Amino acid sequence: MLYCFRGGLMQNKVSMDNIAEALNMSRNTVSKAFNNQHLPEKTKQLILNKAIELGYKNLDTVAKRETIIHHKNIMILTTNDLQNLNFFLSVLRGIDNIVTKYNLNLLQFQYGKIHQFQDLKDYIRISQVSGILCLETFDESLVKQILSLKIPVVFMDSTIECIEYSGDFDIVLMENRNSIKNMIKHLIRTSSITKIGFIGDYLHCLGFYERFVGFREALFEHKIHYQSKLNVTKADEFPYGNQEALANELKQMDELPELFVCANDFLAISTIKALKLMGKRVPQDVQVIGFDNTIDARNYEIPLTTIDTDKEVLGNESIVTLLNRIKYKEDRNRIIHLKTKPIYRDSTK
């Protein structure tokens, strides 16, 4: 069962009447939820979420009624809208399989710019969250604050710095380094290429960084000189999705590489569009590879060579790892890499 929270705090005093009006319910129904009288579990949680969203001031009183939520509560924490909806819908299917099996309540909190960390803390306390699954949570200061709560956490990918932290957490992500290295080595052997560039901010997250390391290792193992001038690795603020902006960056290169290694499929498709604006053909003039094997990678006009990741397995493993972390809090932190496989399509020769 999934409950979502996306709102922010209001400045004016919030009453039960406000909550009832926002939910199109009677004040009596809201009162029953707060006084732990008989109501469907889903209705109680809906009212509680709305109370938190609107900034209801008597939440501490509500929180003392521990029977409001009977089952173990797992919270999915996201930051703003997930960038690749299809990817995460598949991940959520994997999560839902375990949630159903163990009769868990699945909550969601979307942490945006309108929020203060206290909003998140209040939601966790009131909802009696047992563990947190973080998706696309790559802000270092937020990660540190989450770990300070002393609640079991699993990060589905994370910041590069997170591996140095201590706390009740694990990291689950796809195998990145070897999979991208082996694909590049294969293309070096089959296409006799020596000029290879990288597209994407490799400091964006641990997964991107590992892919960049795999890229560097492939060059090293084939004694190919690394040339940073063949890369576009600007920080995330750069509009990588804007093909004109990306094309302008590529035009500044003295020569284009023979292969662009892109940190994910979104960047790969954007790179192909930018090359097309420049009159370059893929793969005849420049080969391009991505990562993730998204729906867009399969359906794009030039089907993309990429690394396939099993998104449902990723979701499944993440929630199982979180349940184990909740049960065995004293265990050592783990970084779990899940197997991938190469997919060769028309964006390479």
Q: Minimal CA–CA distance to 42: which of 4, 8, 6? A: 4
Task: Write out pLDDT tens, residues 240-271.
Answer: 999 999 999 999 999 999 999 999 999 999 99
Residue 60's pLDDT is 53
CB 1 within 8 A of CB 49: no
Q: HSE, CB side, 13 Å, CA atoms: give it for residue 159.
A: 14
3-class SS letters over 80-124: CCCCCHHHHHHHHHHHHHHHHHCCCEEEEEEECCCCCHHHHHHHH
What are the structure tokens assigned to 293, written together?
A: 């094997």
> Is residue 234 over pLDDT 70?
yes
What are the structure tokens assigned to 333, written together?
A: 């932190």
> Is residue 88 over pLDDT 80?
yes
What is the set of domains in the chain, with CATH numbers? 2-173 (3.40.50), 177-309 (3.40.50.2300)
pTM over 0.75: yes
